[in-house]
């Protein structure tokens, strides 16, 4: 009955996760040391003292050169010698010990996006071996070793630092809702610098997991908008869950946490992934406490901050405290609403107008100066999981299971690990109208928190808009507010341009890159688009059920009677 999605299911759509920086550094270190040893010990022996090879135009050399050319064609992006990567210099043919190192290099990706194929790039450099050369060779080896060691230790050192994106953010950002902020800080967990520092440490603490390798930032990495930019997240032992990791940015302002609102506060939320068997995999709160106690320094910190030793509730409080420092405003849109007419372009202004009018976005993704989060924090079935799940038998199953009495962790397991995840809010409230309903998410920094929706099924913003434009996916519980919208291509482009202005400055560069990539993709690859349905043309020509359809309003220039200017504010 419960099926755990294996990594195989995700292979097609998932990007392989970026290896931990520390793991990379470790591997690189191992490699360098081994390589250095090999060079120092085996290379001369392999070639043998006194082995002479002729000049560069010898047959072996010509073969080598030909190999290089051939190999560099095999791989689109070849790191050529001298480009900074560690490339083995070898004279051996295939099957030599050098090949092992070469192959290992091939498996390592340096950046999460493009495969960097390090081919068997062999140099044509081939010097005759003489005694003098040997000495020179060993001097070079020594130098390389020293440089490498420095570099790698620097890598390791930097890998341990979360980076500036993880720092607590300033509250003097344009658009920051000070009033709302004062409402959401709980009385029993006020912010203090020491608590925030402790929380940050815990957030990045690998030891807080079953195998000592997973920390919160694996799924909520600061460099990736506090998400992992994967469709669904990977936890302990490479297991994948059912839900997309929401961003920590501005999470403090939400009225509930998780896609189905099963946690009321950030404190409640922090306690759940730690204990989930496929997320961080700690068996019990006691075990988590023991793990943290075993790491030097924590006990003292807990004593200083909370006045008593490590305990699970306080751990959650500290983590929540750190998370409450992750606020992200100061966007071009915030500047525009503050009065700077030039802060956003005309396309974004049109998009904002459509957002308020024809797009019907504002009714759920509401924005106002007091609560500028682009969400009313309610739950709606917009038909995302409908195309994967058959709701009726699923709900039957769920009702029976839950009737036997459920603790929050049971819901957590159902939500993350089983195919009942698609039932959404229903798992929490057990109300029929909540079947397939998920929380309205905010719209800030979308271009660094892709892919989208609770299952990460939509990789680009254009895909999400196509989903809405055609009226979602029909299912018996589809919210009646989801109707075909009749947006044209340029209107969708304008909407995305508007959404792009909701990016905070620290993510601007990454967002721009992502926008360009998504834009390019959107010109050719639009699997969700259904123009007939969007324009209300699908209509009923005869008997037969299925397919969205509805009435589209008359064509009207959105900027003429600009709905963005309607009403107060």
Nearer Cβ to other proteins, position 35 or 379? 379
Nearer Cβ to other proteins, position 311 or 474? 474
The vertex-319 CA angle with 255 and 326, nearest 5°, equals 65
Question: What is d(CA 206, CA 16) in angstroms, rounded to the nearest whole number?
Answer: 20
Per rule CB under 8 A, count of chain residues that contact other proteins: 47
The one segment of 392-400, 416-424, 506-514, 522-530 that binds other proteins by CB under 8 A: 392-400
Query: Do the Cβ atoms of 208 and 215 come closer than 8 Å?
Result: yes
Q: How far is the CB of 403 from other proteins (least distance, A)?
A: 5
Cβ-based neighbours of 214, under 8 Å, separated by 6 or more: 206, 235, 236, 279, 280, 281
Question: What is d(CA 17, CA 218) in angstroms, rounded to the nearest whole number?
Answer: 10
Nearer Cβ to other proteins, position 505 or 539? 539
Nearer Cβ to other proteins, position 398 or 510? 398
By CB under 8 A, tell whether 376 contacts other proteins.
Answer: yes
Q: What DSSP string describes 514-552?
A: HHHHHHHHHHH--TT--HHHHTT----SSS---S---PP
Catalytic residue list contains 323: no
Of the candidates 279, 491, 492, 506, the residue annotated as catalytic is: 279
Nearer Cβ to other proteins, position 99 or 479? 479
Question: What is d(CA 412, CA 273) in angstroms, rounded to the nearest whole number?
Answer: 8
Question: What is d(CA 120, CA 541) in angstroms, rounded to the nearest whole number?
Answer: 62
By CB under 8 A, tell whether 338 contacts other proteins.
Answer: no
By CB under 8 A, tell whether 367 contacts other proteins.
Answer: yes
By CB under 8 A, tell whether 387 contacts other proteins.
Answer: no
The one segment of 158-166, 306-314, 360-368, 456-464 that binds other proteins by CB under 8 A: 360-368
Q: How far is the CB of 394 from other proteins (least distance, A)?
A: 9
The one segment of 45-53, 105-113, 252-260, 550-558 that binds other proteins by CB under 8 A: 550-558
Restricting to residues 490-549, name those near other proteins by CB under 8 A: 536, 539-540, 542-545, 549
From the list 221, 357, 383, 472, which residue makes contact with other proteins (rule: CB under 8 A)? 357
358: three-class secondary structure by DSSP: coil
By CB under 8 A, tell whether 569 contacts other proteins.
Answer: yes
Q: How far is the CB of 320 from other proteins (least distance, A)?
A: 28
Q: Which of 123, 231, 182 is nearest to 452 (CA)?
A: 231
Query: Do the Cβ atoms of 548 and 471 come closer than 8 Å?
Result: yes
CA distances from 182 to 19, 186, 213, 495 (A): 39, 9, 36, 32
Question: What is d(CA 217, CA 203) in angstroms, rounded to the nearest whole number?
Answer: 6
Binding site for other proteins (CB under 8 A): 356-358, 360, 362-363, 366-368, 376, 392-393, 395-396, 399-400, 403-404, 430-433, 476, 479-481, 483, 536, 539-540, 542-545, 549-554, 556, 561, 563, 566-569
As annotated, the active-site residues are 279
């Amino acid at each position: 009955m419960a099926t755990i999605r294996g990594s195989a299911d995700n292979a097609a759509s998932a990007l392989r996760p970026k290896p931990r920086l520390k793991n990379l550094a470790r591997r690189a270190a191992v490699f360098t040391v081994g390589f250095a040893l090999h060079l120092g010990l085996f290379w001369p022996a392999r070639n043998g003292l006194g082995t002479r090879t002729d000049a560069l135009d010898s047959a072996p050399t010509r073969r080598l050169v030909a190999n290089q050319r051939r190999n560099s064609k095999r791989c689109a992006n070849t790191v050529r010698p001298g480009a900074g990567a560690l490339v083995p210099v070898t004279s051996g043919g295939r099957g030599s010990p050098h090949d092992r190192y070469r192959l290992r290099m091939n498996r390592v990706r340096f950046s999460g996006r493009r495969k960097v194929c390090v081919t068997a790039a062999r140099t044509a450099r081939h010097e005759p071996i003489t005694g003098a050369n040997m000495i020179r060779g060993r001097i070079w080896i020594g130098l390389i070793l020293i440089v490498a060691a420095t570099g790698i230790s620097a890598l390791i050192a930097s890998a341990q630092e979360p980076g500036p994106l993880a720092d607590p953010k300033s509250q003097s950002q344009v658009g920051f809702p000070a009033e709302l902020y004062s409402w959401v800080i709980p009385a029993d967990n006020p912010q203090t610098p020491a608590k925030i520092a402790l929380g940050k440490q815990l957030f990045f603490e690998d030891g807080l997991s079953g195998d000592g390798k997973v920390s919160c930032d694996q799924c909520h990495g600061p460099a990736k908008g506090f998400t992992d930019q994967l469709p669904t997240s990977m936890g302990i032992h490479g297991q994948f869950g059912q839900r997309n990791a929401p961003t920590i940015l501005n999470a403090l302002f939400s009225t509930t946490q998780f896609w189905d609102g099963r946690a009321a506060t950030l404190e409640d939320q922090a306690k759940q992934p730690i204990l989930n068997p496929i997320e961080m995999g700690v068996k019990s709160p006691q075990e988590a406490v023991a793990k943290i106690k075993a790491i030097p320094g924590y006990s003292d910190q807990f004593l200083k901050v909370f006045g008593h030793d490590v305990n699970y509730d306080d751990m959650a409080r500290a983590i929540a405290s750190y998370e409450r420092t992750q606020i992200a405003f100061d966007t071009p849109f915030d500047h525009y609403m503050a009065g700077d007419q030039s802060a956003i372009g005309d396309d974004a202004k049109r998009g904002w107008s459509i957002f308020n009018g024809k797009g019907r976005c504002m009714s759920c993704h509401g924005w106002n100066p007091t609560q500028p989060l682009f969400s009313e924090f309610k739950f709606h079935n917009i038909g995302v999981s409908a195309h994967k799940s058959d709701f009726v038998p699923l709900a039957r199953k769920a009702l029976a299971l839950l009737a036997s009495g459920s603790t929050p962790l049971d819901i957590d397991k159902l939500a993350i690990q089983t195919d009942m995840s698609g039932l959404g809010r229903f798992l929490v409230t057990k109300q029929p109208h909540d079947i397939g309903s998920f929380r309205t998410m905010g719209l800030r920094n979308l271009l660094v928190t892709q892919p989208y929706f609770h299952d990460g099924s939509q990789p680009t913003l254009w895909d999400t808009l196509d989903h809405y434009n055609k009226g979602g996916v029909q299912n018996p519980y589809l919210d009646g507010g989801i109707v075909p919208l009749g947006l044209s291509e340029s209107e969708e482009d304008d909407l995305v341009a508007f959404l792009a202005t909701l990016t905070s400055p620290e993510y601007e560069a990454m967002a721009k890159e992502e926008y360009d990539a998504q834009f390019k993709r959107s010109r050719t690859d639009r699997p969700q688009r259904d123009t007939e349905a969007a324009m209300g043309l699908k209509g009923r020509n005869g008997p037969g059920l299925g397919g969205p359809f509805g009435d589209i309003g008359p064509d009207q220039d959105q900027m003429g009677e600009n709905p963005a200017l309607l009403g107060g504010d």
